[in-house]
């Protein structure tokens, strides 16, 4: 089967599953949570690839190529893209449904971090797919281009920092709502600190990576590796 067909098949499978769930009037929040669990392994591997950049660009590239053997299988990639689209769509729907009823700091942290993640993913995935369409290797140097092209570093620095911190915040909020009382505050605190540390590490990696010769994104800079 052609790669594009396999990718489309994977995305379509997730889309059909989402449509079936909607027609069955299944609760959206558990589906949103299930989709997040399905994406968790990919996100963990993605962040691990970034952290490998602390050992140098070569270490990152070596790990990235190994990971791509799995997640760039067209069918797997199609399912991942479908899950990402569902995650964004269901998250924004939940964000809208909760307007006017949101109470407490944790609820607002969850809403704001989720909204930012949806915006980040829209930009990030679009830039990566567009870069690949143009034949650009969307590796660490692709991601770092914006950090080395003035004045774009003032956009991409906060853009990446808040994306990783928002991910830690969102995971922490989910743990807060689903763990018993003695553990929920501790889990949220650990997730916030982990998100903060990972965000700082990512900026260190990107600031130290050498900008590539070819770049893609608005203004000639990149928006993320993949």
Instruction: Measure Cα distances from 106 to 11, 91, 100, 150 in Å.
Output: 32, 16, 15, 36
Q: What is the predicted pLDDT for the residue at 162?
A: 97
CA–CA separation, 110 and 167 (whole Å): 10
Residue 226 CA to residue 218 CA, distance in Å, equals: 17
- pLDDT tens per residue across span 167-226: 999 999 999 999 998 899 999 999 999 999 999 999 999 988 654 434 434 444 455 556
Question: What ranges make up the beta strands (E) of the chain?
Answer: none
Q: How far apart are CA 44 and CA 38, in angstroms?
A: 11
3-state SS, residue 148: helix
Regarding predicted confidence, which is higher, 168 or 85? Answer: 168
What does 56-73 look like in DSSP terms, one character per residue?
-HHHHHHHHHHHHHHHTS
Greatest CA span in the chain, whole angstroms?
A: 52
CA–CA dist 186, 171 (Å, integer): 13
Q: Are 191 and 121 in contact (CB under 8 A)?
A: no
Q: What pLDDT, on the 0 to 100 scale, is given for residue 86? A: 87
pTM for the predicted model, two decimal places: 0.81
């Amino acid at each position: 089967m052609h790669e594009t067909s396999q990718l489309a098949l994977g995305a379509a499978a997730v889309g059909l599953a989402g449509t079936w769930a909607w027609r069955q009037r299944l609760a959206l929040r558990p589906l949103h949570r299930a989709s997040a669990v399905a994406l968790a392994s990919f996100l963990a591997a993605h962040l691990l690839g970034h952290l490998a950049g602390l050992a140098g660009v070569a270490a990152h590239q070596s790990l990235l190529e190994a990971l791509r053997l799995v997640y760039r299988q067209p069918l797997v990639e199609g399912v991942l893209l479908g899950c990402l689209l569902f995650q964004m769509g269901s998250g924004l729907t939940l964000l809208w449904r909760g307007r006017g009823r949101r109470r407490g700091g944790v609820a607002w942290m969850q809403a704001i971090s989720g909204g930012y993640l949806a915006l980040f993913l829209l930009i990030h995935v679009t830039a990566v797919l567009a870069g690949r369409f143009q034949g650009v290797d969307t590796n660490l140097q692709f991601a770092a281009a914006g950090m080395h092209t003035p004045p774009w570093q003032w956009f991409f620095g906060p853009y990446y920092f808040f994306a990783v911190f928002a991910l830690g915040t969102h995971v922490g909020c989910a743990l807060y709502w689903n763990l018993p009382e003695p553990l929920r505050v501790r889990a949220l605190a650990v997730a916030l600190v982990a998100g903060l540390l990972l965000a700082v590490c990512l900026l260190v990696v990107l600031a130290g990576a050498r900008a590539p010769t070819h770049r893609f994104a608005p203004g000639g800079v990149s928006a993320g590796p993949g």
